[in-house]
Amino acid sequence: MTTLHWADGRLEIHRVVVGPYANNVFVLRCRHTGESVLIDAANEHERLLELCQRLDVKRVLETHGHWDHIGAVTQMREAGYEVAVTSQDAPMLKDCGYDVFLDDAEVIEVGKLRLHAIHNPGHTPGSISFLVDGSPVLFSGDTLFPGGPGNTSFEGGDFATIIDSIDNKLFTLPANTVVMPGHGVDTTIGNERPALAEWVARGW
């Protein structure tokens, strides 16, 4: 079964859905160099390790520290893959460990591709999204979904904060930006932006 989810002349995005909460795991691959990065080592580490070997993954980026997004981190690190997470969410990885911190506005090199890290607190204090430079793709983790923001009822979540993150950091992106969330199907900034006031009014 093919894992290819989206592509243009510069890149491929592969996706597998894993675990009891149907987490999206994405691999961004540079077509020029073959190098890749894996976003959210969520679960089913055997599948993820096979994907990493097939697509020449160099490192793992975590959008946030919730347990359903880090279930395969231990095995990924044991296999030699570096795992990066924000310092704010790093305490959530105390049992599985991590290697380096991700910072807001950091630029991550994936072959000839560039990923821009965008700190989006609200779902967790350290939630982060990744915008592909030169392509209309945003990996939003659990910050933005079709139909609304991520859940803010967990410890460390805050509704006003996630709304601010979405409004001021994501809804400033072009309308054709393809949003690839941590669960479920893709959407676009243009599809979601008009509903912001409705989300604020309903409170979730």
**Which whole-number Å values give the CA distances from 128 to 36, 48, 106, 124, in the listed order?**
19, 21, 11, 9
> Using 50, 70 and 90 to split pLDDT, how confident is the model at 60?
very high
State the pLDDT at residue 84: 98
How distant is the alpha carbon of residue 35 from its chain centre?
A: 18
pLDDT digits (tens, 9 = 90+) for 118-147: 999 999 999 999 999 999 999 999 999 999
185 lies in which domain range? 4-202
CATH code of 96's domain? 3.60.15.10
State the pLDDT at residue 178: 98
pLDDT digits (tens, 9 = 90+) for 26-46: 999 999 999 999 999 999 999
Residues 204, 199: Cα–Cα separation, whole Å: 6
The residue length of the chain stands at 204
The mean pLDDT of the chain is 97
Per-residue tokens: 22: 């149907």
pLDDT digits (tens, 9 = 90+) for 85-96: 999 999 999 999
| Tally of domains in the chain | 1
Q: In what order do the strands lie in the sheet with 178-181?
A: 107-110, 113-119, 128-132, 137-141, 178-181, 187-188
> Using 50, 70 and 90 to split pLDDT, how confident is the model at 202?
very high
Q: Indicate whether 1 pLDDT > 90.
A: no
